[in-house]
Amino acid sequence: MKIRNMNEINITGKRVLIRCDLNVPIKNGIIQSDARILASLPTIELAVRNKAKVIIMSHLGQPKNECYEKKYSLFPIFEYLKKKIHYTKVYFSNDYSNIIAINPGEILVLENVRFNSGELKNDAILSKKYAKLCDIFVMDAFGSAHRKQASTYGIGSFVNVACAGPLLISEITMLKKVLKNPKRPMVSIVGGAKVSTKFNVLNKLANISDHVVVGGGIANTFLAIDYDIGKSLHESEFILKAKKLRDKHNNIIIPIDSRIGKNFSHTEPSTIKSPSKIKKNEEIMDFGDETIKKVINILEHAQTIIWNGPVGVFEFPNFRKGTEKIAKTIANNSGFSIAGGGDTLSVIDMFDIKNKISYISTGGGAFLEFIEGKKLPAIEMLEKNFSQQILNNIV
């Protein structure tokens, strides 16, 4: 089924509500990474240039009980946008029921949608309230496209016109390119804490990739099939499932040595050990040098790379080497690379390699679910709305 593209619609003078993904890390009111904001800017600026009345909404973090918490306010993002888009007026409002009137070419940033009762449960009353704010709804938050919530899904049932923004279109296009006809060899890297949420995507990637490198707690669960890995982060209840996956595919690359420590600490020294030598009071926190060499050799020959997640505790200097070496090898690769996931974006920022990755996805869960082959709820919503537009002769 087809979805409508924002570029196909005359938005001049219209109230255009853009659902962005501005879920960025903020510490003491200071934005730590602006990657997702920068990714959203072209859509916002396109709407401004076309003299739309631009209204922006997004979620930020996970406030408890859908109640206001200052640390999750979008106000710092509003201030950022005000400086970035200095050529027009940018306003802020925390009142969804009585928003201020703005002129064509101006911007209104609304407060965190997750402060609104019913957002997470896809409440119909809240969805209708969102729909009344606009003439046209633009879904541009790929990072939230896998969530069936009022601002990403429910609103589509109550607006006349819902369409995809340029960022969402770009994300879908790039991921389809990688999955449909990748240049080979193709290498996938999947890090992170939990293997339990990634079995399906690992199976899919193992089917389409020449090599799948696993890191972090995911790799530890695979190592626990054959070794006692001390107090390393892993999911013991999923060891059997990991074994079945490993036995099914011979292209899953599991660490042959690791950097270990006794305490989960920023200053903890690291020691390199093979899996069979790890003691009960030790934990794996990064790849060892032999594993790094093996993975780098694989990556240097890759023509297509999918990267999701760090392979170790990169926040700690002594357990950063694996993630750093792999990140820089991907950056120097001349093939096509696509990276996605919140921690992946942090790694890209840390090593300043943004301009060396072919495409950086803003999605984490959505990125993985799309790769897995799932129909994302936001895409489903846009398809349904487009069908309704045809029936109502709006197109």
In angstroms, the Cα distances linking 370 to 23, 227, 268, 306, 348 are 19, 33, 37, 13, 21
Map out the domains of the chain with their CATH numbers. 6-169+375-393 (3.40.50.1260), 184-334 (3.40.50.1260)
| DSSP structure class, residue 305 | E
The reply, when asked if residue 315 is annotated as ligand binding, is yes
Phi, psi (degrees; rounded to nearest 5) at 126: -65, -40
79 within 8 A of 91, measured Cβ to Cβ? no
The reply, when asked if residue 36 is annotated as ligand binding, is yes
Confidence class of residue 341 from pLDDT cuts 50, 70 and 90? confident
Q: What is the pLDDT of residues 104-135, one digit of tens each?
A: 999 999 999 999 999 999 999 999 999 999 99
pLDDT for res 342: 65
Q: What is the pLDDT of residues 276-299, one digit of tens each?
A: 999 999 999 999 999 999 999 999
Secondary structure of residue 316 in the 3-state scheme:
coil
The Cα 131–Cα 135 span in angstroms is 8
The catalytic position among 82, 194, 273, 293 is 194
The reply, when asked if residue 207 is annotated as ligand binding, is no
Lowest mean pLDDT among 90-94, 154-158, 367-371: 367-371
Q: What is the pLDDT of residues 39-83, one digit of tens each?
A: 999 999 999 999 999 999 999 999 999 999 999 999 999 999 999
Mean pLDDT value across residues 30-44: 92
Structure tokens at 300: 């240097």
Is 15 an active-site residue?
A: no
- Asked if residue 363 has pLDDT above 90, the reply is no
Is 27 an active-site residue?
A: no
- Asked if residue 368 has pLDDT above 90, the reply is no
Pairing type for strands 252-253 and 211-214 reads parallel
The reply, when asked if residue 228 is annotated as ligand binding, is no
The reply, when asked if residue 22 is annotated as ligand binding, is yes
The reply, when asked if residue 135 is annotated as ligand binding, is no
Is 154 an active-site residue?
A: no
Amino acid, single-letter form, for residue 132: K
Is 194 an active-site residue?
A: yes
Confidence class of residue 192 from pLDDT cuts 50, 70 and 90? confident
The Cα 107–Cα 94 span in angstroms is 14
Lowest mean pLDDT among 178-182, 243-247, 263-267, 312-316: 178-182
The catalytic position among 13, 61, 230, 365 is 365
The reply, when asked if residue 286 is annotated as ligand binding, is no
The Cα 284–Cα 143 span in angstroms is 30
The catalytic position among 36, 53, 259, 320 is 36
The reply, when asked if residue 343 is annotated as ligand binding, is yes
The catalytic position among 154, 215, 342, 364 is 342
- Asked if residue 259 has pLDDT above 70, the reply is yes
pLDDT for res 98: 85
Angle between helices 216-223 and 239-248 (to 10 degrees): 90
Burial class (CB in 10 A: 0-12, 13-18, 19+), 240: exposed
The reply, when asked if residue 180 is annotated as ligand binding, is no
pLDDT for res 74: 97
